[in-house]
Each structure stands twice: as structure tokens, then as C-alpha cells.
Structure 1
Amino acid sequence: MESNQRLLVISPHLDDAVLSCGLLIAARPCTVVCTVFTAPPAENMTTDWDCASGFADAFEAMRARQAEDREALGLLSAVPVHLLFRDAQYRASPDVDALITALNETVADTKPTLVLMPLGLFHSDHVLVASACLALMQRHLATPFIAYEDVPYRRMPGVVQARLYELAKRGYAADTPHALDVPATPQQERMKRAALDTYRSQLRAFGPDEQASLFSSERYWQLGRVAPSQSNR
């Protein structure tokens, strides 16, 4: 990877970027990580996930989770950007056009030479962000977009293959980019593990069995449009 590249990682939730791209972020200081769903609900509530994370309510949860994210990205020398959208558990999912507008402003502000986006596996928030990123890709044709496999959902049998098939039907080609193979040095592995450890509330919710699978290899897919005649074959 070129040393002068400016990376922008788009993350649905406050931990997704480090879970899925932590080694890459560790290898590229000053990476900007834009997290989409960081706002509490308009009125306070209590959800099962927030309870499992150790919080009394959503307001407490989002304050603590934003702080955890800033701590984690600080350990990786990354720059956090928090967009104030509400995730699906708060029953206020944004319109995809609103996401496209906000993400487009982030791209304009950061001027990345490479954008990392979620492949969009399983979780409705991840699918929504991926859809917005695909639309964004059409506005920034000169900027490469690469999709990362969403951890932990990539472990679900067949979910990656099903998503790649769906993208192909919609006219998107996905090729593994060898240029993003990150030589995971011991130092970078330690940095990623330390960053993951700062997401204390989320590790609590995952539980010990799921935690063991969170630190896994990172896989990326180069995305591009194909001609209609090719995608319909």
C-alpha cells in the first residue's frame, strides 16, 4: 500500500472498524474512522443489548460507547468522526438519502484516496450503511472503494457468499485486492488487541465464547461496477 494514501474507514457502529479493520488502521496512522450510528434515542429507553453491555439505559450507553471508541482509536493513532444517527435498536433508522448526504460531506472534508466500507452482512444497520456507500461510490468514481468483511457476522455460514452474489446481481464486481494484505506485525497485533479491549461494554455483551472469535484475520474486497451485459450473464 502506498505510504501517502489517506484512508477513510466507514463504520456502522462504535467498534465495527476496529473489529474488522484494526490491523489495517494500526498500519496506517491518521486514518479517519467515521462511525455512523453514535446518537442516543430522542427519548431514553432500555434495550436488551444495552443491558447486556452493562448499562442502565440508552443515554448512559451511548455516552460510554463514544468514550470507548475515542480511547480505542487513540491507541491506533486514528481520527474519530461520529455522525449523529440512531441505530436500529432505538427504532429510528435514518433514510438512506440522509446517510448518503452526511457521508458525502465526510468524504469532501477528509479527501481520502481510499475508502473502506462494510460489505454489509446480516445486520440491518450494516446493510443500510453499505447501501449508502455503494451510492457514494458512484459520486466519487476516481476514489477506490474497498469493502471489509463485517466481524463477527462474516462467521455465519454462507453469509459472505450470499452477499457477494447479491452485489453481483446488482452490477458490482468484488475482487480480493492483494494490495491490502496487511503484514500483521507483532506490534500491530498488540495495538489491535489493546484497542479491542477498550470496548469493554461490547465485550461484556458478546460474552466469553464470542469474544474468542473476535480477533480474526481481516479480509477485503475491491468493489467496482460492471457493464449491464456482464452482470446479467
Structure 2
Amino acid sequence: MMQSRARLLVVSPHLDDAVLSCGLLLAANPSAIVCTVFTAPPPENMSTDWDRQSGFTDAFEAMQTRKQEDIRALQKLGAQPVHLSFCDAQYLLTPSPDDLTGALRRTLNEHSPENVFFPLGIFHSDHTLVSDACLALIDVMPDTAFHAYEDVPYRQRQEAVSERIEELTKRGYALSPTTDVSAPVNAFSAHEQIKREAIAAYASQLRAFGPQGQSSLYSTEKYWRLQRASS
């Protein structure tokens, strides 16, 4: 069983994904690293639908505030933030797969985690890009255990998880459900409360999700161990 002392790093596409999908895992593993990929504003300011729904007038304001929200959320979980300087898809400046894979490899080498958790890669192009970049590291980091987490809230989409697993299986990866990475049963209630407090720190994103979207954020966390399938 994975112990809380294990060096653990969670790769988060956006400034909230790790907490939404892995908040209980993070609460059970103090001092974990959360590496968020898309945290940079665009070179020239702009205003997007999502940022306006979040209550921001422009991208510069959005990214500055969202990073502050992320720091507060991770403080509640005892986790350490690492913010990479890539722009998410809404800012029309998506990094190349090679650039992203290289940056993630440097981050993992710097922190030497025993276990890495990354998005399964459902629906959102940023999530799929990050997932594929992490998959590329499995072969070159054999001493690190890689796990995928089911992306909240996108895993609510019908058959999205099974379709992605089928795709990865065809690409030569073996996925096995992981059931022993969260908190002991007697600590679940306390960790659930901490996770809810951490999610609440993302006030702008909760505003954009709206009441209906928020209802899907508090679902059971699910993880998969990923390895190269035996030939």
C-alpha cells in the first residue's frame, strides 16, 4: 500500500484539476508536489468566454488571480505548487508535444517523485496533450510509478473513460485500477472536508461552473496504474 511518506507528484493541466480529481489523495499525502502546466497569460491580453464567466475582465487578471487561488488551495492540502509557463488552449498558443514533454521531464527529474499522477486525458484538448506528454515519460523513467487519474468533471461524459482506456490499450499501455492510493477509511471524513475547503479556494472557477456544474465536482476519485503492456 502506498504510504504518505512516498514522494508524490500530481500533474495538473489547469489551475484546479489536481484538486478536483485528486484532492483526497493530496490530503492523504502531505508535502506532495502539484505541477500545473497551463498557468501563463498570453503574450498579448485578450478576453475569453471562460474568463468572463469566471468574473474576469481579461486574461492577465484571470491568470494572476487563478495562480493565487491555486496557492491557497494547495496550502490547505499541504501541497507545494509548481507552475509551468505554458498557455492553455483558450489563449491560442498551445505548446508542442516535445516542448511539454521536455518541461515535464525536467520537473520530474528535479523533484524525483516515486509516484506520478497525471490526467487520463478525457475530452479537453489540454488534458489530452498533458496526458500524452506524461505517457511519453513512462519508457524513459523506469524507476517511477505512473498513475492516471480520471479527469473531473469530464469523466461524467458518457463512455469517455472507457473510450480513452481503449485508445491507450491499443497504443500499447496496460491499465489496472488502483484502489490503495487514498486515505485510510477512518481518515476519509477529515480528508473530504479538507478537499472541499481546497475546492472552495477556486472561487472564480466555481463561478464559471455554476450550480449545476459544481454538483459533479465531488465524486469518488479513481486511478489507474499505467505500464507498458508485455509483448
2:188 matched to which residue of 1? Answer: 185
The amino acid of 2:100's aligned partner reads L
User: Structure 2: which amino acid aligns with 1:33?
Assistant: V
Name the CA distance, whole Å, in 1 between partners of 2:37 and 2:4: 27
Aligned length: 228
Question: Does residue 1:207 correspond to 2:190, yes or no?
Answer: no
- Structure 1 stretches (4+) deviating beyond 6 angstroms? none
Matches within 5 A, 1:116-195: 116-183=117-184, 185-195=188-198
Map 1:13-28; keep pairs closer than 5 Å.
Answer: 13-28=14-29
Partner Cα distance (1:128, 1:185) in 2: 32
Aligned match of 2:226 = 223
Q: TM-score, normalised by structure 1?
A: 0.96
1:84 matched residue in structure 2: 85
Q: Deviations over 1:116-156 (max 9, x none)?
A: 01000000000000010000111101111000000000000
Mapped to 2, the partners of 1:80 and 1:137 lie a distance apart of 23
Gaps of 5+ in 1: 229-233
1:181 positional shift: 4.5
Whether the 8 Å CA contact 2:206–2:214 is kept in 1: the answer is yes
Q: What is the letter of the counterpart of residue 213 of structure 2?
A: E
Rounded to whole Å, the distance in 2 between the matches of 1:70 and 1:57 is 20
Q: In structure 2, what residue type is equivalent to 1:93? A: T
Note the residue ranges of structure 2 that are not aligned, 5 or more in a row: none
SS in 2 for 1:193: helix
1:4 is displaced (CA, Å) by 2.6
Partner of 1:9: 10
Considering only aligned residues, what root-mean-square deviation do their CA atoms show, in Å? 0.9
Distance in 2 (CA, whole Å) between partners of 1:177 and 1:27 is 15
Q: What secondary structure sits across from 2:180 in the alignment?
A: helix
